[in-house]
Structure 1
Amino acid sequence: MTGLAHRSLREIAQSGLPFALIARDGATVEVLAGDIVDVDLLGDIPLTDAAGAPREVLALVPFRQVRERGFECHDDDAPLRCLVVTERAAIPREDALAQLPAEPIALDEPGFDIADEDYADIVRRVIADEIGRGEGANFVIRRDFTAGVSTDAATAALTWFRALLEHERGAYWTFAVVTPGHVAVGASPEAHVSARDGVVTMNPISGTFRHPAGGATVETLTEFLRSTKETEELFMVVDEELKMMSAVCSDGGRITGPHLKEMSRLTHTEYVLRGRSKLDPRDILRETMFAPTVTGSPMQNACTVITRHETTPRGYYSGVAALFTPHETLLADEPTHDLDAPILIRTAYLQDGRLRVPVGATLVRHSDPYGEVGETHGKAAGVLGAIGAVPRDVAAEQAAGDAPEAGGAAVLDAVAGGATEIDEDAPAAAPRRLADDPAIAQLLASRNARLAEFWLNPQGTSGPAPFAGRSALVVDAEDRFTRMLAHQLRHLGLAVEIAPWNEVTDAQVDAAELLVSGPGPGDPRDAGNPRIRRMREVVARRRDAATPLLAVCLSHQILADSFGIELAPLDAPHQGLQKTVDVFGMPASIGFYNTFTARVPAGTTEVAGAEVAADDAGDVYALRGPAFASVQGHLESILSRDGMTTLQRLVEQAFA
């Protein structure tokens, strides 16, 4: 077979050979070709050949792989598809553009699979039935824009890739992956996870600013950056990805930012998380499935909520494209491959002559249903305009427009304008970066004044840890905040183990030097729920034995209930809310993620031998007494500026 370097991109596409085109550095296009192997599990991705020699693999990981973590999903049998690379070449960007087709591709019978009003109803139900009942802080619910395509798949892939390469900017990966029966073409703004030389990086992105007609300005962007909804949305996804970092990195992860991700029609806000790990990159990928920016939090329950409210499988949407590249020099006790894995969003899929563009909105406690409808229109118009499937000026107007009215057809209006031919002589000019404006930079930097220094600074210990030589068992009630909490406890000197609620034994509960009963979703009053029932048993055993107990969030509510304190839903959920509260005489800035609260009559300071810290309305923020302490907030959250000092105080109380 003639080498890739001696064949044009059209010749490669016409050969029937599976291939991928990836633009990552802005200057070159990587061309990968090889053999397709579909596998069942991430651990089966064939990183070595029969002789044990490492090889390069590009894997398309579908959303259904969350089953490996025991999470729910609609299973569509989408394959974990591996392109085992046998040939690769690098082509200068301009040479690639010259080889790629520019003829417009028409769309037939375009439209969303879910009507605007029906999607708005889903938003209302998620806010009321899921967030309003304590099932989580935020959830991403998708719908699909679909259309027929008569052009052959490989030609369509090259055409759309060319459009993205020419006109999209700010993407982390611009790519086309063509395999038997399936095409994926996109410009993903977000690196989900990478691992290079033992350094793991994650890139949580959230908050979507749709550029107004005429382009973004400092004034319009400033209004967006001051939005409470957009700011809290980003903080929540950073918390969720720090949970993942704490699971795979020995040092828990440090955050830098925030930054702007400026694209052609959208601008996002983002942070970067980094930590060190010696895990196999396939294990890193498994522990970080999938990004909260496209699922929700807490992750496990988000998958359950998605299954309840999305009636069709996701396919590859919100999965990742994972490139495993062998190290040039192998070191003992180090992974053999680096990993680079962007999220599969802003991506168009073509299968059996049907184009599918999945788009989702992040639903939070103060989401506006029609605002979220508008966000899906903006995202769909952005993808379709970027690939040249609709006129770019029309797509830009639709992406910047207000929320459509019920039954509106913003993207359909753009499609009606017809596809647009790419002007090879007029590439898109890169506008001035708004992030360089001093006022914007200052506004971004000011966000960190609200955050915990523990996660912003290097986490080396200074002096002897206060609980060195002691140990703790953390019981996980399906919220991986326990990973961050365990990391902070280790920083305080404790040797920590984590046990899931459905695996922890009574013997473990009894033997633990300190038992940390963790947070989780759901209604603490629901004794019929097996998870709630088991957490009640765990708290009761420790309280009856009068052995050291620290209870957090859900478990704090359960502990309060054991003292006869009323449990009630909040008027408005405190999901991702930062508050300064009095914790036994010391003010503390803490992040809250609760829908329910323990409540005492105003002015109450003690109940049945438990000292109570509550606000003027009687909402209980903490309890303490002989061998126990509890807290409603998440001291491990980035929103808890006083998290570490408060955690140390409460652990001391539990050991007292």
Structure 2
Amino acid sequence: MSLTPLSRAGDAVARLLADDRPFALLHRRTPGHDQDTVELLTGPVREYATLAEIPVGERPALALVPFRQIRERGFDVRDDGTPLSVLLAAETAVLPLSETLTALPAHRVEVADGAFDVADGEYEEIVRRVVRDEIGRGEGANFVIRRTFTGRIDGFGRADALALFRRLLAGESGAYWTFVVHTGERTLVGASPEVHVRMSGGGGASGAGGTVVMNPISGTFRHPDGGPTAEALLRFLDDPKERDELSMVVDEELKMMCTVGDMGGVVVGPRLKEMAHLTHTEYELRGRSSLDVREVLRETMFAATVTGSPVRNACRVIERHEVGGRGYYAGALALIGLDANGGQTLDSPILIRTADVDARGNLRVPVGATLVRHSDPAGEVAETHAKAAGVLAALGVRPGPSRRRPKPPRPADDPRVRAALDGRRAGLAPFWLRMQERAGGARGHALVIDAEDAFTAMLAHLLRSTGLEVTVRPYDEPGLRRAALAHTGPVVLGPGPGDPGDADDPKMRFLRELTAELLRGHRHGLLGVCLGHELIAAELGLPIVRKESPYQGAQERIAFFGREETVGFYNSFAARCGEAEAAALAARGVEAACDPATGEVHALRAAGFASVQFHPESVLTLDGPRVVSELLARSPLTRS
């Protein structure tokens, strides 16, 4: 999209202060973009009901996408009425960064009555409940629960908005976007570290597809008072909680990439994202897509780093544990337009580390921590404070980083830190580091049943790599039972949240009945994954028990039918098999691969069906394609 140069930033800032038009100032660290500039957009703001209505043209459109927009994906969400607002740029300009900093107001913005809406002790108790009642009961692998710093800025106006923007530009480092957006009704000022999704060259006539980039960021290293050191950073990189947290969000965003990146891609990283008050770990997912940019935006609502995994059920958990609606928090800004060749472009940061101020001066700064099985309640409270620190420092509520202290050597440059990051990459599945599209000699058509976990998108990608055609259908789609029983190819019972033994859960009742029918009457191959495995094990008469410690996002080395495999688990329940049960299964021609210490069943196989408790499609399973190919080879229609 083309922007008109403006020679003097001072003139532009003076005009913004003199009139009442909506505007946006954006400092973007988009690759290939001049980071020594600030972009100015002015024009009317319109409200739309759906993302598909946002206009795509030569003039850029800047969408403010609220969290409630996730209802477009059919997910449960509290509707707080926050609008999908779009600034349609009538005028654009590029301003030199240095001149803009000089021209912007530099006064202090005073905040009154500032406090978090959820006290520290109350948030600690929420962490305990989520780990115990949600992760412990199989509702998901991780969840992001918000608390909000609230306050009041008396007499808040455009000059205050610009002053806050200046302080963020000067005081926060490493942000992907630093921005101020003023719609007339509200002002968003933030420094977001994280790409939501980026796309270039989309929708063109060549059919080559556009390049899609996602950037999962997770794991939070809070800088100590004396600044970060290599030793402290190495301890952070070796922390199981932080390591598991990032792996889980990579899996979750790979689910989305497999949905929108229908032409293949790669995983790059891990890398460090260094900011003023903290450092994150991150990966970059790159793919190619034939979709319209608005479809890409819709299908990636919203990142696991701000919701949880699986995203659909995370929305329900958020509803149970958060106070009020999310507004724009965890939503996205989205700059949409066309490039010089007519290809669609999309650049979108996640709306975090952002102050939301309404026309009366009421201030909200929402932040959240990613809660996992290893979460320490006090540590998660401290993480929310660290994440809010950049914006609160700009508001003068928290002290900013000292500028008198000489800068220490960057710990990220230490070769031991680089080796630790390389070691993390070595623990990921090579399949996903290159995301091969097709390989192998299997033939046939697999039907994958989605039990509310988009891991099925990754399963479909993996199955296609074996040569299979794949259709994914939700468990509650009308006619699914009939279609599954009549399918002349392998049926895959996919993963999903919940307790497989809960007879009061309509989903579990349906899937248990369907599993029994498939075991009795389907002759073309049946594969169960995670929840699907537990359902098959239950039909075979094995007890399903709740694990003392959830295995959500755990990478383990297991015995798998005579060899060892490194695999990724996402389960809070497991089937158990003792010697007597194993003998009874063997008499029926069923083999079980079990943990010798606990008796937990890692996998089952027999003529015509197989199941695995772990996720062969996960980035944590090192050789998932071979595992799936071998299990499916027992099905007559997939033998090469």
Length-normalised TM-score, structure 2: 0.92
Pick aligned residue for 2:578 from 582, 597, 601 = 601
Map of 2:119 onto structure 1 = 115
Q: 5 Å matches for 1:609-624?
A: 609=588, 610-616=590-596, 617-624=598-605
1:61 to 2:34 alignment? no
Q: 5 Å matches for 1:98-247?
A: 98-197=102-201, 198-247=210-259
Pick aligned residue for 1:510 from 463, 485, 488 = 485
Pick aligned residue for 2:496 from 508, 514, 520 = 520
Pick aligned residue for 1:480 from 440, 454, 466 = 454
Map of 1:263 onto structure 2 = 275
What is the CA-CA distance between 1:388 and the residue it aligns to? 4.2
Return the letter of the residue paired with 2:44.
D
What is the CA-CA distance between 1:427 and the residue it aligns to? 10
SS of aligned partner of 1:644: helix
Query: Aligned equivalents of 1:472 and 1:80: distance in 2?
Result: 38
What is the CA-CA distance between 1:560 and the residue it aligns to? 0.5
- Label 1:60 to 1:536 Cα distance change in 2 as closer, same or farther (>3 A): same
Query: Aligned equivalents of 2:157 and 2:281: distance in 1?
Result: 34
Query: Aligned equivalents of 2:405 and 2:173: distance in 1?
Result: 9
- Label 1:443 to 1:47 Cα distance change in 2 as closer, same or farther (>3 A): same
Kept after mapping to 2: 8 A contact 1:160/1:388? no
Map of 2:514 onto structure 1 = 538
Aligned residues: 611
Structure 1 range deviating more: 575-584 or 504-513: 504-513
Return the letter of the residue paired with 1:380.
A
User: RMSD between aligned alpha carbons?
Assistant: 1.9
Query: Aligned equivalents of 1:389 and 1:571: distance in 2?
Result: 42
- Label 1:460 to 1:515 Cα distance change in 2 as closer, same or farther (>3 A): closer
Map of 2:204 onto structure 1 = none
Query: Aligned equivalents of 1:189 and 1:240: distance in 2?
Result: 18
- Label 1:481 to 1:323 Cα distance change in 2 as closer, same or farther (>3 A): same
Map of 1:253 onto structure 2 = 265
Q: 5 Å matches for 1:126-525?
A: 126-197=130-201, 198-330=210-342, 336-351=343-358, 352-393=360-401, 432-457=409-434, 459=436, 461=438, 465-468=440-443, 470-503=444-477, 504-512=479-487, 513-525=489-501
SS of aligned partner of 1:633: coil
Return the letter of the residue paired with 1:290.
F
Pick aligned residue for 1:581 from 558, 565, 573 = 558
Kept after mapping to 2: 8 A contact 1:546/1:626? no
Kept after mapping to 1: 8 A contact 2:528/2:610? yes
Return the letter of the residue paired with 2:481.
D
Kept after mapping to 2: 8 A contact 1:153/1:183? no
After superposition, give the CA deviation of every residue in 1:421-467 in whole Å (9 maximum; x if it has no partner): xxxxx7998764432221111111111121100011251545xx321
Return the letter of the residue paired with 2:484.
V
1:70 to 2:74 alignment? yes
Kept after mapping to 1: 8 A contact 2:79/2:325? yes
After superposition, give the CA deviation of every residue in 1:591-614 in whole Å (9 maximum; x if it has no partner): 000000000115854444222111
Kept after mapping to 2: 8 A contact 1:20/1:31? yes
- Label 1:211 to 1:292 Cα distance change in 2 as closer, same or farther (>3 A): same
Structure 1 range deviating more: 542-551 or 140-149: 542-551
Map of 1:412 onto structure 2 = none
Query: Aligned equivalents of 1:458 and 1:595: distance in 2?
Result: 28
Pick aligned residue for 1:647 from 621, 628, 631 = 628
Query: Aligned equivalents of 2:190 and 2:441: distance in 1?
Result: 50
Query: Aligned equivalents of 1:83 and 1:387: distance in 2?
Result: 25
Structure 1 range deviating more: 248-257 or 135-144: 248-257
Return the letter of the residue paired with 2:45.
I
Return the letter of the residue paired with 1:179.
T
SS of aligned partner of 2:388: helix
What is the CA-CA distance between 1:24 and the residue it aligns to? 1.3
Identity, in percent, stands at 50
What is the CA-CA distance between 1:390 and the residue it aligns to? 3.5
Kept after mapping to 2: 8 A contact 1:565/1:599? yes
Return the letter of the residue paired with 2:505.
N
After superposition, give the CA deviation of every residue in 1:529-584 in whole Å (9 maximum; x if it has no partner): 12112211221221111421001100110110001100000010000001111221
What is the CA-CA distance between 1:640 and the residue it aligns to? 0.1
What is the CA-CA distance between 1:369 and the residue it aligns to? 1.1
Kept after mapping to 1: 8 A contact 2:542/2:581? no
Gaps of 5+ in 2: 30-34, 202-209
Return the letter of the residue paired with 1:358.
P
Return the letter of the residue paired with 1:21.
L
Gaps of 5+ in 1: 49-53, 331-335, 397-425
Kept after mapping to 1: 8 A contact 2:38/2:95? yes
Structure 1 range deviating more: 383-392 or 34-43: 383-392
Kept after mapping to 1: 8 A contact 2:110/2:395? no
Kept after mapping to 1: 8 A contact 2:23/2:183? yes
Kept after mapping to 2: 8 A contact 1:4/1:87? no
Query: Aligned equivalents of 2:55 and 2:198: distance in 1?
Result: 18
Kept after mapping to 2: 8 A contact 1:112/1:145? yes
SS of aligned partner of 1:291: coil
